[in-house]
Amino acid sequence: MRNAASLPPPAAATSERRDWQTLKSLFPYLWAYKGRVLFALACLIAAKGANVSVPLVFKHLIDALGLTTGQAYVVVPAALLLAYGVLRFSSSLFTELREFVFVRVTQEAVRAISLQVFRHLHGLSLRFHLERQTGGLTRDIERGTRSINALISYTLYSILPTLVEILLVIGILLIHYDSIFALVTTITLSAYIGFTVVVTNWRTALRRRANELDSAANSRAIDSLLNFETVKYFNNEAFEATRYDEQLKKWIHAQTVSQQSLALLNLGQAVILAVGVTVMMWQAAVRVADGGMTLGDIVLVNAFMLQLSIPLNFLGVIYRELRQALTDIERMFSLLDVDREVADAPGAHALAPGPAALRFDDVRFGYDPRRTILHGVSFEVPAGHTVAVVGHSGSGKSTLARLLYRFYDVQGGAIRIDGQDIRELTQSSLRAAIGIVPQDTVLFNDTLFYNIQYGRPQASRAEVEAAAAAAQLGDFVARLPDGYDTRVGERGLKLSGGEKQRVAIARALLKNPAILIFDEATSALDSKTEKAIQAQLELAAAGRTALVIAHRLSTVMNADEILVLDQGEIVERGTHLQLLARGGHYTRMWALQQQEAETRPD
């Protein structure tokens, strides 16, 4: 398994996998419906058997018309015509039955794989998502799921039927005619398939390059649109368009080369097929002239070649699409190979509900092994108490919250809840016990009601409204024309900073967790809004175990204990008054912030 931190780019991940590995990964999802699969295969064989029988009946019909006389001249052809019609209908019947039975297998396989990839992505560490571009990732998943449907359709509806038909035709030619016909057919088909495989394998690298450039262009566009405010702030619309166009030019060049190689492939296939058909018909014509074959025989050989040439022409296109589908599925399955990094330990148990005491015990951690962020941090938050962590930017404050949530695992020491190492708990029960009001509240592009209810999706409307009222959102909602049904926009951009923070508080209150984290919850707000929000935060923390991460010291004055973090180490601890009396780091930070507050314009 590859670690997310050292995950290679998509192209490398794709090249490592083989087509057979991809098919092997896909097979269990199909075999879960083995009854339908086997019935579909039986219908496939029956349909092709009926299809191959049609030229045989047609041959006998032609010969009968030349040999029979009198009443037999009418009866025999009539019976053969009836058989001809029945076989034609049978071929269509079994083909449609196959599709009718198998369509559910295809859709359920796509659903199962899509759901597994979705869950796996949510199970990956924060490190993976920070290092990936969402636009390219979603494009890979979209192409992969779409290609599963295409791969199954190409295989069951085109490749397998064509191969079955080829085997049946070669068998009939061997049994009833000179071996030269079977030999020419075999050589022609082998040359056709071999040429297609060789050239298509060469084209696969071109297609992969085009896909990578397509994903890169899409990622660049989405990244730019997600940051459209920043683009406008710096008047960089033209710059972004130029960057996007550069990526599009590379993609167009790759697409052009890929399309030119397709024309070369088509030309080679046409030459091989034309030579094979010409030789077959020449051999048949010679034997008819010598009396070794009847007129019906040459019609039969011609019908077989026509029947094979049509799917063979289509088979070339299908094989190219099949290779593309395999390439796209490889990229998606490679996501399932990514190590989750943070996973439940074998035998992990659920955290019991109720008040929880929190302890950081000699915690050491670094995002990069070459740079340690936390150096043996130890402190305790008794159940129902509030502990604040303050310090300059980059001191490691927010890292504490990420470790508590197990977005990353500690590299030394332990984090304990009620004496239990959180690595021994299930992640689901751990995160269910924690609520957070983050510095940057990101909302879904949905209604205000949905975003508050997200704290506990099964909550009733009355509970949502009660949580909103507790977060002082009631008056704001009452002023909105659509009330709780107001859509908040992409990432909540239609709301102000204070409004988003109140939504975050309401969401945390609705979750009703045992542990609350306030991670720089008011750092982006003005002084007036900060004071209003601060009162609500203190109310929300009442009776709960609370960890407050703050830069502004005025927001943590009432904490039971304040920890001063500097360069990953706790350098001071105590209450607000105790720390001021010491005249150390906290006192200097306090004096500096008071000076800034006095000089700050209203």
Which is more confidently placed, 537 or 561? Answer: 561
Per-residue pLDDT at 67: 53
Per-residue pLDDT at 529: 64
DSSP-assigned letter for residue 444? -
Q: Output the CA–CA distances (angstroms, integers) from residue 251 to 12, 153, 204, 207, 381, in the order listed.
A: 19, 28, 15, 10, 55
Portion of the chain with pLDDT greater than 90, in percent: 9
Rounded Cα distance, 58 and 92, in Å: 18
Taking the CB of residue 49, how many other CB atoms lie within 10 A of it? 16
Rounded Cα distance, 49 and 52, in Å: 5
Q: Are 54 and 91 in contact (CB under 8 A)?
A: yes
What pLDDT, in 10s, does the model give residues 460-469? 999 999 888 8
Per-residue pLDDT at 379: 93
What pLDDT, in 10s, does the model give residues 376-399? 899 999 988 999 999 888 788 888
Rounded Cα distance, 127 and 250, in Å: 30
Q: What is the largest CA-CA distance in the chain?
A: 126
Per-residue pLDDT at 10: 36
- Residue matched to tokens 């960057």: 243
Pick 441-512's CATH classification: 3.40.50.300, 2.60.40.10, 3.40.50.720, 3.10.129.10.
3.40.50.300
Phi/psi for 349 (5° steps) reads: -115, 165
Q: Is the pLDDT of residue 493 over 50?
A: yes
Taking the CB of residue 282, how many other CB atoms lie within 10 A of it? 11
- When the pLDDT of each residue in the chain is averaged and rounded to a whole number, the result is 80
Give the closest residue to 351 by CA, choosing from 416, 433, 419: 433
Rounded Cα distance, 541 and 22, in Å: 51
Of 89-93, 116-120, 290-294, 595-599, the least confident: 595-599
Q: Is the pLDDT of residue 60 over 70?
A: no
* Tokens at 415, concatenated: 């984090």
Grouping H, G, I as helix, E, B as strand and the rest as coil, residue 78 is helix
Q: Is the pLDDT of residue 413 over 50?
A: yes
Contacts with 147 (C-beta within 8 Å, 6 or more apart), sequence order? 324, 325, 326, 328, 329, 332
| pLDDT band of 523, cuts 50, 70, 90 | low
* Tokens at 304, concatenated: 């077989």
9-336 with 356-433+516-602: one CATH topology?
no
Per-residue pLDDT at 365: 92
Per-residue pLDDT at 11: 37
End-to-end CA distance of the chain: 56
Q: Output the CA–CA distances (angstroms, integers) from residue 139 to 8, 27, 174, in the order listed.
A: 17, 23, 50
Per-residue pLDDT at 417: 92
398-411 average pLDDT score: 89
In one-letter notation, the amino acid at residue 344 is: D
Q: Tell me the fold of 9-336.
A: ABC transporter transmembrane region fold (1.20.1560)
Q: Is the pLDDT of residue 362 over 90?
A: yes
Q: What share of the chain is helix, strand, coil (3-state, %, to 5)?
A: 70, 10, 20
Rounded Cα distance, 413 and 392, in Å: 24
| pLDDT band of 563, cuts 50, 70, 90 | very high
Give the strands of the sheet with 412-417, arranged side by side. 374-381, 358-365, 412-417, 420-421
| pLDDT band of 574, cuts 50, 70, 90 | very high
Of 76-80, 123-127, 198-202, 478-482, the least confident: 76-80
Q: Are 537 and 552 in contact (CB under 8 A)?
A: no
Torsion sign (Cα): 266, 95, 183, 302? negative
What pLDDT, in 10s, does the model give residues 196-247? 878 877 777 777 778 788 888 888 888 888 888 888 878 888 888 888 888 8
Of 61-75, 315-329, 336-350, 363-377, the least confident: 61-75
Per-residue pLDDT at 1: 37
Q: Is the pLDDT of residue 4 over 50?
A: no
Rounded Cα distance, 151 and 322, in Å: 6
In CATH, what class is 356-433+516-602?
alpha beta
515-527 average pLDDT score: 75
Per-residue pLDDT at 81: 66
Rounded Cα distance, 399 and 410, in Å: 10
What residues does each domain of the chain span? Answer: 9-336, 356-433+516-602, 441-512
